[in-house]
Amino acid sequence: MQSRWHRPQSDSGVSSDAWIMGVLNCTPDSFSDGGNFFNIESAIEHGLHMFEQGAAIIDVGGESTRPGSETVPLEEELARVIPVIQALTDQGCFVSADTMKAEVMHQGIKAGASMINDVSALTFDPDSLAVIADSHVDVCLMHMQGLPKTMQQQPKYSDAVADVSLFFNQRIDACLQAGIQASAITLDPGIGFGKRLQDNIALIQGLGHFKQHFNMPLLLGVSRKSFLGQLTDSPIHDREIETAVAGAIGIANGADILRVHDVPLQRRAMQVASALSLHPSF
Closest CA to 188 of 159, 221, 156, 228: 221
Query: SS3 for 135-194, per residue?
Result: HCCEEEEECCCCCCCCCCCCCCCCCHHHHHHHHHHHHHHHHHHHCCCHHHEEEECCCCCC
The amino acid at 110: K
- Are 226 and 191 a contacting pair, CB within 8 Å? no
Q: How far apart are CA 162 and CA 267, in angstroms?
A: 30
Q: Is 225 a catalytic residue?
A: yes
Q: How far apart are CA 94 and CA 252, in angstroms?
A: 25
- Are 137 and 114 a contacting pair, CB within 8 Å? yes
Which listed residue (80, 211, 225, 267) is catalytic?
225
Q: Is 110 a catalytic residue?
A: no
Which listed residue (224, 239, 259, 267) is catalytic?
259
Catalytically active residues, by annotation: 225, 259
